[in-house]
Amino acid sequence: YNSDTFESMPNPEGRYTFGASCVSQCPYNYLATEVGSCTLVCPQNSQEVTVNNVQKCEKCSKPCPEDFWEPGLPARDLRWVSAWFPSLSPPGPPAGPPQPPSHPRQGPQHQHPTPGPQTAVDL
């Protein structure tokens, strides 16, 4: 990458752009794109594939399969996606966010103390 002209340039030392750096392979958990960059999420109409132990994005030859989440989105976030977009929920029990208990927590109630002296005269 040439930071003076803001253009990608051939570089025999590196193969992918990662931010403003040129790297020979994308860092762990990043995907190599067809345009030579590293990304966390594949572009539209592409899917994650692994070729020769390299995770990369590849254009789908037919309509891409509909996944419940995109590569790079932690699986723990799936329940939030399902809560906001029920049509994306996987089959089975609901995967929405945890619900609050149906009754308030039992226990002693907090009492506010009576106000103390407010002015120098009250002291």
Residue 121: the pLDDT is: 57
Task: Report the pLDDT averaged over residues 85-112.
Answer: 50
The CATH code that applies to domain 1-64 is 2.10.220.10
Contacts of 83 (CB under 8 A, 6+ apart): 95, 96, 97
The pLDDT confidence band at residue 112, using thresholds 50, 70 and 90, is: very low
Whole-angstrom Cα distance, residue 6 to residue 104? 58
The per-residue pLDDT for 118 is: 57
pLDDT tens sequence across 40-78: 988 888 888 998 888 899 888 888 776 544 555 555 544
Q: Where are the domains of the chain?
A: 1-64
pLDDT digits 0-9 by tens, 29-47:
899 988 888 999 888 888 8
CA distance 39 to 71: 10
Q: How far is C-alpha 39 from the chain's CA centre?
A: 12
| pTM, to two decimals | 0.45
pLDDT score for 117: 58
